[in-house]
Amino acid sequence: MDTIKKALEDLQKGKIVLVYDFDDRERETDMIMASQFMTHEHIRRMRKDAGGLICTTVYGPVAEELGLPFLTDLLAVAAKEFPSMSGLAPFDIPYDTKSAFSVTINHRDTYTGITDRDRALTISELAKIVGMEDNPEKKREELWKHFRSPGHVHLLRTSNELLKERKGHTEMSTALTLMAGLISSATVCEMMGDDGNALSKAEAKRYADRNDFVFLEGEELIDAWKSY
């Protein structure tokens, strides 16, 4: 619980924490931070030190308010016009039953959308909409007004009941923001190794020690969520 407490305090300060999922799942460590504090320096660190795909989560109930679908649902609709899309449905994910991917976005004030500053702007501005008071129509209007798709920030939609249906980094990172009393959106990036594989748990722990980052394991995070 001391580790969880420190992780929540660091998230509240805009710091990155590291979360390893499970030995029988992805076996990956993700860099995680609260989207509302995103800066271009954070994007640079994720890009250079982690190296995976930088994605931003949206809590399931908020995604419903915003009208953000799962990408698999979009493929099902598209298949009516483009039949080959149905063949791309991810029915064979080796570690999971459902993909969390939604659409990709850019803020309309970005240029290409891929630079560190552009992605930081997209992520931090999206967090403002996620954190708006419950007014679904206003939230959707703000989304359409300020964002376009496709873009360079990948959105991940959580399951509606966090860590019950699905126990991925999408859900774990979003649960951390909720426990920390922050806007319910996290930005995550998988840590890659130099051997062509995911960074090992041991190496991720050493990285955390060198950089004064909290390292959490999935089981302790889920136990804390149950208590929360």
Inter-CA distances, 35 with 9, 38, 79, 125, 171, Å: 15, 5, 33, 9, 14
For helices 2-12 and 169-179, the axis angle rounded to 10 degrees is 80
Instruction: Judge residue 39's burial from the number of C-beta atoms within 10 Å of its C-beta, 0-12 exposed, 13-18 middle, 19 or more buried.
Output: middle
190 is catalytic: yes
User: Cα(149)–Cα(157) distance, rounded to whole angstroms?
Assistant: 16
The answer to whether the CB of 144 falls within 8 A of the CB of 137 is no
Inter-CA distances, 44 with 47, 118, 185, 189, Å: 5, 12, 19, 11
Kindly give, in sequence order, each residue whose CB lies less than 8 Å from that of residue 157, ignoring residues fewer than 6 positions away. Answer: 57, 58, 60, 63, 68, 69, 70, 100, 101, 102, 170
Question: From the candidates 28, 30, 65, 118, which is the catalytic residue?
Answer: 30
The answer to whether the CB of 62 falls within 8 A of the CB of 184 is yes
95 is catalytic: yes
Tokens 């809590």 label which residue?
A: 59
160 is catalytic: no
118 is catalytic: no
Question: From the candidates 10, 118, 171, 190, which is the catalytic residue?
Answer: 190
Task: Retrieve residue 47's tokens.
Answer: 């890009």
Strands 147-157 and 186-190, sheet pairing: unpaired
Annotated catalytic residues are: 30, 55, 95, 106, 152, 190
